[in-house]
Structure 1
């Protein structure tokens, strides 16, 4: 068995250039072999020695390509992932997994029938701030959690007219984009909620946007613990709020977004010593009672972010031919999409939906 998996990437847009190719070439388990570019060969200039092809048919026909990474618009994820697995390829699908839970259910079944690895690119599980929150909760440093608030806010008071902001484009809008990250993180921490209530709106409609650009989702769990997921394109305050946690013993508040996206855009790779490391000025604040009656107030050093762990995990699962080894399973993608659908239903009907 080879110690590396040959990877073909569908598309060379921002997502591919920023979040996928740099991590693929950084993983000891993976080898970037080919990229689908219909109108250019920019990927060859960035990664000399790789092969460029003009279509997914060509890519799926390359015998030496083991794993296909799909970075195309959301409404094409289902068709391409299904076809790739049926043609013998393992698959990583950019989030969101699909645009309907029915499509997601089919992909889960196809992965089982073909015995192929199928994963969803939920890289935000390896944000440094999320890893910090996860550790605080696992160690009970806030006591019993009563409220978890997670934001992914930006400021852009106009439309870029990309496919994510086109009316009628399936899977467009912020709920499918940033909402997929926030929902997946909540599911990772707390599992399936008892109920969901959501408000979803288009606040920039007068500026020509035609899709949702603001949402609040409230997930309710046992003991009335609430997970509040919030995103807006009109959040200009700096620094942006990222997390606010309240427990019976204390609170934790974290501002600033994870540093990895900006680092990858600047060409900083995981091998760099400062990759994923957040400056002390951006650390979160805790105020809580620890074991033994110790009252702690101060900064919490942010865990080192590690998007590379996603691709290392996928590479190992492919080499071992072991879907159970996956950190992000297709079933996780299915559950995330189902919650997106229920959030939209809740907003449309203005009611809480119980599971």
Structure 2
């Protein structure tokens, strides 16, 4: 690690400075698209699966009935914030500033809802198909029945989380009938733990950070053949579930008459913890809009794990704690010390970074 201590970006991270980082290894998307391990077809498959499950979701989660079981949020203009930002930098910000309200996604109330719920549904579908309870042509509302709950009650789902992913995994798994355990890091909010317990979820509290919660969850799942571990650090299923947001955003932009092309580029700012959600969304946006979209990840100055992994090229081989950074932030969902093993190499062609002091 000593080779990187003299690096000016790493020095800024150690000093907890707010910075903007432009990826020096970024290339045109069309130059690497065909070489990626995931493609548009994988994203479309994930979208189709969510569509198959939509009637079931509308039936068991009434809050999704208005969207017919599709987990989606509003895209709205925020002119007051645009004016405030312009005033703060004494510079006119042209174009339109929009907010994708994923903090209001139904069922779990965070950006993690799409990916977390998607992976649970994918696992449930595979079990049902493998046990002869389901055909792809079936009405998926049959998941809301005793034979399915009886099957899932014999299986465990385990996840480690700072809170938001745990909510999506826990609530969805419990609704289906799984025996679900969420390992929560020390910075997870008490109300999130209480909500999970009220849904019948087993919550294991840890005095250490996110990395320990994930590892303990992984170790628990390894003890049982019927246990399925949802790995926030290295899951293509979570990644693809998040990526579906790009297809939904594309539709919303068309509905609002907003063009994205060379002369009308799209800039997207995404909060980043371990990297799964912003990574998946960035992958999806690049598949849809190519190099007409520019994605920026926002991390707390006290938890800059993804930019550290990208700058050094070590990805999950280095943690912020190794640099003496405390990983303490009020943004509990972003309090991650070591980045995803999967996302950094996958999204290295696409993303830039902003670090903020929260």
TM-score (norm 2): 0.30
Whichever structure has more strand as a proportion of its residues is: 1
Whichever structure has more helix as a proportion of its residues is: 2
TM-score (norm 1): 0.30
